[in-house]
Chain A
Amino acid sequence: MAHIPTAGRRARWRGAVYTVPLLVFLLALFVAPLVRLLQLSLRPVDGNNAALPGYTGHQYVRVLTEPFFYEALVRTIVTAALVTVLCVVLAYPAAYALARRRPGLVRTLLFVVVLSPLLTSVVVRSYGWVVLLGANGPVNRTLVGIGVLDQPAHLLTSYSAVVVSVTHVLLPFAIVPLTTALGGLDRDVLRASRILGAGPVRTFARVTVPLSLPGALSGALVVFALAMGIYITPLLVGGANQPLAGIRVYDQISTVFDFPVAAALSFVLLLITVLCTTGLGAAFRTWERRLHG
């Protein structure tokens, strides 16, 4: 630092000035509320669950010892992991098709289709699933009609419905980076694999996947982080009894009115998410270094 010439240092400061608006924005609307939330999570409560002055670790003890909370946390991690795996697996063929397609109307339309879950409101999308999976919905009627089921199944309010609907919303976050990664693949590298005797499947497994892993990982990172915190979609499709951390937080705030324990649960969820994504990110960087180092 001391060796940076004055001109260089001034240039660096001038560069930093441009980030001030964003910094102010983040401080006021992200960091400050987070600090308030942390403060709240450390408050004791009275008999009516109202926050009292003073500090206690009681809310965290509750979150980590009461099955109602920690089982939801475990379930959330499992669900997020499952959704992440599903998204990446489903994203590969879609991204492959998109990346191979030459730019044009068809490609644009395909992209619109892929991004459509993000372009519709949560409520509309979720009620779409409710209609689709309802007792009289097309899925049940088809299953009964072709004789797979004797009577309509409870597809709605099931855990599978939650996984399916959450995967649906988050799929674009996996497809987009993967499309970029696959599009950037050198066609000749794939051809080299083919001419060396590897068929399409082996080429995909040994060349396409390893080389597109950074794209898949960055998609997985986003999907996982979002799946950890998602609550409206599972709430509307799966119901308020789904044991997911996001729904539990919502529940504590809207029906139990225990704000401190909701805050504590939020913080534990945030911490787990940060730890998991950091781990994934480290793996991502290691692989990138192997490819480009």
Chain B
Amino acid sequence: MAAAVERDLPLTGAPPAGPPAADAPPAGAEAAGAAAGHVEIEGLAAGYDGHRVLDLDRLSVRRGEFLSILGPSGCGKTTLLNAIAGFVAPDTGRILVDGADITGLPPHRRELGMVFQNYALFPHLSVAGNVAYGLRVHRVPKRERAERVAEALRLVGLEEFAGRRPRALSGGQQQRVAIARALATRPAVLLLDEPLSNLDAKLRREMRVELRKIQRSVGTTMVFVTHDQEEALSLSDRIAVLNGGRLEQLGTPDEVYRRPASRFVAQFIGAANVLEGTVRDDGSLDVGGAAVATGLPDPVPGREAVVAVRPERIRLSPAAGAAGPAAGVTGTVSYRAFTGDAWQVEVRTAGGLVLTVRVADSGAGGADPPGTGTAVTASWDPADLIVLEPGAGR
């Protein structure tokens, strides 16, 4: 218990092994040749009533990084967080923090921090009392405690609210108190369970910036659970995409977005159009009768292949007569909706294929995308095509 107190990480200012550059993933750990990450999860499986909800081979969190665990509800992401925190006992596997096995430790001996979705502040304590709670439990002397409470509240910009009760604060302020409370004990790792999902859209965007700022200034390793892909993309150093309790992909936001490892990742992040078909003799893909140029590395005719294309990568043009594979797919607009900065257009081909297209709005002076019923050609640069299953004989 005393370890956390003596661990002399300053609350502000980058820790020794923190990320060197703001945007780059922390290279320090790898450069130092440390194979083990800050938090290592090995062969972790957990479930309720015989129903397995989590089955992770390996997940390594680097020191000082902001790792998002992204997935749909029921994918096991909250179970994973609760297993790290010690609220869920895994059936098998190990969790190591700084090389020490914490799998068997109760939550209060793990020296971790956690921010909950519903803030979970102590309603009977003031804001300062909430932030001081962990310090009091760790028997931090009174004077130091007061200093650290003030420091934590300064970090989240709530110094003037120290005497208030949590109920007298707005949702955003309560969440900041929760962050200050979790950071005050200087935890090795801060776990965040969908902390922004109860806030309204505007506040959520502001808190996102704030959270990233706090993470950079404190340098604490953060594991952030979310179902919101935009949140994960904009906040994280790396994203772990979870589906059905398994790790689908682990990578930086642009890796996960540009090179999704699976159909699930492609569809869950950025809602890509997935095209399945048979490779034709000319190397293009036959998708429901439409020929799609793929640029497959090593096409084998007759094989099944799966590719994906992002909605914003598709261009719409008036239907052309002669349609070669490069010219794209012809179809009719079946749906068109204005979403503010863009239009969402759905194009249905004669073969029944439906493509979702995102067309950036060209402003009041510009032309709107073709309306419902218009015949269009949807085309894209073959380089923008994401190959999910090449269908090649490897």
Name A's B-contacting residues (CB within 8 A): 186, 188-189, 191-199, 202-203, 206-207, 210-211, 290-293
Contacts and interface: CB of A to CB of B under 8 A. Distances in A.
Contacts of A191: 85, 87, 107, 114, 116, 120
B114 A195 contact: yes
Contacts, number: 78
25 contacts: A188-B116, A188-B118, A188-B120, A192-B120, A192-B121, A192-B181, A193-B122, A195-B107, A195-B108, A195-B114, A196-B108, A196-B113, A196-B134, A196-B137, A196-B181, A197-B111, A197-B185, A198-B108, A210-B124, A211-B122, A211-B124, A291-B123, A291-B124, A292-B123, A293-B165
Q: Which of A186, A193, A195, A202 has the most CB of B within 10 A?
A: A195
Interface of B: 1, 4, 85-87, 106-114, 116-118, 120-124, 133-134, 137-138, 165, 167, 178, 181-182, 185, 191
A195 B122 contact: no
A194 B114 CA distance: 10
Given A188-B117, A193-B133, A195-B86, 16 more contacts: A186-B120, A188-B116, A188-B120, A191-B116, A191-B120, A192-B120, A192-B122, A192-B178, A194-B86, A194-B106, A196-B108, A196-B134, A197-B111, A197-B134, A197-B185, A211-B123
Contacts of B1: 197
Nearest to A197: B137
A188 B117 CA distance: 9
Given A197-B137, A293-B167, A189 B122 contact: yes
A195 B113 contact: yes
Contacts of B112: 195
B106 A199 contact: yes
A292 B167 contact: yes
Name B's interface SS: loop
A192 B116 contact: yes
A197 B138 contact: yes
Given A191-B87, A191-B116, A198 B123 contact: no
A196 to B, nearest CB: 4
A45 to B, nearest CB: 54
A19 to B, nearest CB: 33
B116 A202 contact: no
B120 A196 contact: no
Contacts of A210: 124
A194 B111 CA distance: 10
A189 B108 contact: no
Contacts of B167: 292-293
A225 B203 CA distance: 50
Given A210-B124, A291-B123, A198 B118 contact: no
Contacts of A292: 123, 167
Given A191-B116, A192-B114, A207 B122 contact: yes
A198 B121 contact: no
A5 to B, nearest CB: 33
Q: Which of B4, B118, B123 has the most CB of A within 10 A?
A: B123
B105 to A, nearest CB: 11
A277 B61 CA distance: 57
A195 B116 CA distance: 11
A158 to B, nearest CB: 41
A194 B107 contact: yes
Nearest to B120: A188
Contacts of A196: 108, 113, 133-134, 137, 181-182, 185
Given A202-B137, A293-B165, A293-B167, A194 B120 contact: no
A188 B182 CA distance: 13
Contacts of A199: 106, 108
A159 to B, nearest CB: 37
Contacts of B181: 192, 196
B48 to A, nearest CB: 12
Contacts of A202: 137
